[in-house]
């Protein structure tokens, strides 16, 4: 049975679902209010320097999922990229995430792995057996001095709240290494597309049954479809009528230099007196692509509470937001004709590989429901889990 679909959002979620439905013979219209496809992964050439920029913040593709990696490779060339992050603290540069080099730099020592472990065992707060929040987690991992230097100011700038109000789980995900491995990610595949993420997403959307309409919001359309897949914010679908889910937004301040400004793609600024959280120098994300001028384009990144007209970046998901989310999810489950997907549709931070895997799962769920002639569920992934 051929059906008509409207997919709201031309990011990875919308594109992957659209492609799968189109390849199964359905008619698909993909709309996005932005004038480009790619969602937040959008890349474009900077007009002044020709450098490929990550317009909505730096994106590095990293995954252990063979299926997802071979899927993206179908649509573009992936260039191996080993991501490293530096951090400036009190006028000194350190290696991140915290590894043996960071420990030796910070304490002015030349310790080996087991000596460094012993040092941190003396520094860390042994009395915190079950860390109840981010701050306690950090104190029980690295102790007061490193917590204050690397985490406290940065976290307050990034989230706008006290680290004691954030869950310990955020920090549990960060590695602490007693060797000189300074790779930010540990995944088997770590890469950046040669022609940018938008090049890949355009190719995913390039199929006979897909029509792409840019610069158009879902709310302004009057047509009807057999089914809608909504990858925009779940609270926006319901006109925010029971309240807005909290997000952090980002402001990017662009500036230019001649040549290489910082010698690396990302420099974090952990001190609270420095108003931005990090500086991204885009040319380092495509070292294979050094044609054009010698100019370099950089972003200073500032984090703040997301207002009604801002781009929602990071979902906050604290207690109040969880309660509101539960109400929206119940409403979504009671609504027919729409499936919610993606980072905004499920109000979660998800990396690109997880986004693609979940989009594949959503498309499969939709095809199964069509084949079995049952109602298409509101979610393939439970946003409350």
Ligand X SMILES: Cc1cc2nc3c(=O)[nH]c(=O)nc-3n(C[C@H](O)[C@H](O)[C@H](O)COP(=O)(O)OP(=O)(O)OC[C@H]3O[C@@H](n4cnc5c(N)ncnc54)[C@H](O)[C@@H]3O)c2cc1C
Give the residue numbers marked as catalytic.
Answer: 173, 177, 248, 278, 301, 349, 351
As measured in angstroms, the least distance from the Cβ of 46 to ligand X is 18
The 3-state secondary structure of the chain, one letter per residue = CCCEEEEECCCHHHHHHHHHHHHCCCEEEEEECCCCCCHHHCEEECCCCCCEEECCCCCCEEECCHHHHHHHHHHCCEEECCCCEEEEECCEEEEECCCHHHHHHHHCCCCCHHHHHHHHHHHCCCCCCCCCCHHHHHHHHHHHHHHHHHHHHHHHHHHCCCHHHCCCHHHHCCCCCCCCCCCCCCCCEEEEECCHHHHHHHHHHCCCCEEEEECCCHHHCCCCCCEEEECCCHHHHCCCCCCCCCEEEEEEEEEEEECCCCCCCEEEECCCCCCCCEEEEHHHHCCCCCCCCCEEEEEEEEEEECCCCCCCCEECCCHHHHHHHHHHHHHHHCCCCEEECHHHHCCCCCCHHHHHHHHHHHHHHHHHHHHHCCCCCCECCCCCC
Stretch that binds ligand X, among 8-16, 87-95, 169-177, 370-378 (CB under 6 A): 8-16
As measured in angstroms, the least distance from the Cβ of 208 to ligand X is 22
Nearest CB to ligand X, comparing residues 32 and 182? 32
Segment 35-64, which members bind ligand X (CB under 6 A)?
39-41, 57-61
Residue from the set 7, 17, 31, 212 that interacts with ligand X by CB under 6 A? 31
Stretch that binds ligand X, among 33-41, 125-133, 251-259, 270-278 (CB under 6 A): 33-41
Residue 211 near ligand X by CB under 6 A: no
Nearest CB to ligand X, comparing residues 92 and 188? 188
Residue 102 near ligand X by CB under 6 A: no
| 149 C-beta neighbours (distance < 10 Å), count | 20
Residue from the set 154, 355, 370, 381 that interacts with ligand X by CB under 6 A? 355
Q: Could you give the strand order of the β-sheet that contains 85-89, starting from the edge strand earlier in sequence? A: 92-96, 85-89, 266-269, 278-281, 295-305, 247-258, 314-315
Residue 186 near ligand X by CB under 6 A: no
- CA 298, CA 261: separation in Å to the nearest integer? 8
- CA 361, CA 363: separation in Å to the nearest integer? 5
Residue 76 near ligand X by CB under 6 A: no
Residue 246 near ligand X by CB under 6 A: no
As measured in angstroms, the least distance from the Cβ of 258 to ligand X is 27
Stretch that binds ligand X, among 91-99, 172-180, 317-325, 348-356 (CB under 6 A): 348-356
* # binding residues, ligand X (CB under 6 A): 35
As measured in angstroms, the least distance from the Cβ of 354 to ligand X is 7
Please give the residue whose beta carbon sits closest to ligand X in the complex.
39
Residue 163 near ligand X by CB under 6 A: no
Nearest CB to ligand X, comparing residues 143 and 315? 315
- CA 40, CA 206: separation in Å to the nearest integer? 19
As measured in angstroms, the least distance from the Cβ of 244 to ligand X is 14
Residue from the set 5, 7, 9, 116 that interacts with ligand X by CB under 6 A? 9
Residue 350 near ligand X by CB under 6 A: yes
Nearest CB to ligand X, comparing residues 58 and 131? 58
Nearest CB to ligand X, comparing residues 135 and 358? 358
* Phi/psi-derived region of residue 151, left when phi > 0, alpha when psi is between -120 and 50, beta in every other case: alpha
Residue 33 near ligand X by CB under 6 A: yes
Beta partners for 253? 300
Residue 252 near ligand X by CB under 6 A: no
Segment 308-347, which members bind ligand X (CB under 6 A)?
313-314, 342-344
Nearest CB to ligand X, comparing residues 11 and 131? 11
Stretch that binds ligand X, among 22-30, 165-173, 187-195, 231-239 (CB under 6 A): 231-239
List of residues contacting ligand X (CB under 6 A): 8-14, 31-34, 39-41, 57-61, 217-219, 231-232, 236, 313-314, 342-344, 350-353, 355
């Amino acid at each position: 049975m051929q059906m008509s679909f409207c997919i709201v959002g031309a990011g990875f979620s919308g594109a992957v679902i659209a492609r799968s439905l189109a390849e199964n013979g359905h008619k698909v219209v993909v709309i996005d209010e932005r004038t480009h496809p790619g969602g937040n992964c959008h890349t474009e050439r900077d007009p002044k320097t020709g450098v490929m920029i990550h317009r909505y913040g730096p994106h590095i593709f990293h995954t252990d999922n063979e299926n997802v990696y071979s899927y993206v490779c179908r649509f573009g060339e992936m260039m191996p990229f080993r991501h490293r992050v530096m951090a400036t603290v009190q006028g000194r540069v350190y290696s991140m995430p915290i590894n043996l080099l960071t420990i030796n730099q910070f304490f002015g020592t030349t310790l080996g792995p087991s000596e460094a472990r012993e040092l941190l065992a003396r520094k860390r707060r042994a009395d915190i057996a079950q860390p109840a929040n981010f701050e306690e987690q950090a104190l029980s991992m690295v102790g007061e001095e490193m917590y204050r230097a690397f985490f406290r100011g940065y976290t307050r700038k990034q989230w706008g709240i006290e680290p004691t109000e954030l869950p310990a789980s955020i920090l549990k995900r960060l590695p602490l290494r007693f060797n000189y491995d300074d790779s930010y990610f540990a995944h088997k595949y770590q890469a950046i597309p040669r022609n940018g993420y938008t090049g890949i997403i355009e190719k995913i959307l390039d199929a006979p049954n897909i029509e792409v309409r840019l610069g158009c919001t879902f709310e302004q359309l009057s047509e009807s479809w057999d089914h809608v897949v909504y990858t925009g914010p779940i609270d926006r679908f319901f006109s925010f009528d029971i309240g807005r889910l909290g997000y952090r937004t980002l402001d990017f301040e662009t500036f230019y230099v001649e040549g290489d400004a910082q010698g690396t793609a990302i420099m974090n600024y952990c001190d609270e007196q420095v108003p931005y959280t990090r500086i991204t120098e885009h040319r380092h994300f495509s070292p294979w692509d050094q044609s054009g001028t010698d100019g370099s384009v950089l972003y200073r990144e500032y984090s703040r509470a997301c207002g009604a007209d801002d781009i929602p970046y990071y979902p906050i998901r604290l207690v109040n937001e969880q309660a509101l989310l539960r109400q929206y999810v119940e409403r979504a489950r009671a609504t027919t004709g729409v499936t919610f997907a993606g980072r905004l549709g499920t109000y979660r931070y998800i990396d690109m590989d997880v986004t693609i895997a979940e989009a594949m799962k959503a498309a499969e769920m939709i095809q199964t429901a069509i084949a079995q002639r049952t109602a298409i569920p509101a979610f393939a992934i439970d946003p409350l889990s």
